[in-house]
Amino acid sequence: MKQRVLIVEDEFLIALDLEATVEGMGMQVAGLADNREQALRLAPLADIAFVDVNLADGPTGPDIGRQLAAQHGIAVVFMTANPEVVAHGVKGAVGVVQKPVMPSVVEQLVKYLAARRVGLFAVVPQQMTVFA
């Protein structure tokens, strides 16, 4: 279940930490993006995306997540310090996790999203709020 993960995060150290965790699992990082333009350019390379709400170009995360899911079929989870911004859900996105996110939670999320993408049963990580 090799999945390519897009990391949409404007805090460089957080993005690098996510990248190290994903690669440590043997998964490929499709790229790092800190704004809408970069995220959409990298979208064709990704299966899964972790998207922050507030990025270098403003609070564009929810719209980016919607586009990644709708136009590219990417499994999107928001990782944000402001989960209330997306608490009512974002069409096409899977859910939200509140930062800070521990590496073990990132691993659980990747496993869950990878299994979900191929139709396998997986346990929802306890820290994630799933959108209806």
Is 98 in contact with 80 (CB distance < 8 Å)?
Answer: yes
Whether the Cβ atoms of residue 95 and residue 75 lie closer than 8 Å to each other: no
* Contact (CB, 8 A) for 51 and 27: no
pTM for the full model?
Answer: 0.96
**How does pLDDT run across 16-69, given as a tens digit for each residue?**
999 999 999 999 999 999 999 999 999 999 999 999 999 999 999 999 999 999
Set out the domains of the chain in order of their start, with CATH numbers: 4-130 (3.40.50.2300)
Q: How far apart are CA 70 and CA 83, in angstroms?
A: 21
pLDDT tens, residue by residue, 54-86: 999 999 999 999 999 999 999 999 999 999 999
Over the stretch 104-115, which tens digit does the pLDDT of each residue have?
999 999 999 999
Return d(Cα 53, Cα 77) in angstroms, integer.
Answer: 10
Residue 4 in contact with residue 43, Cβ under 8 Å?
no
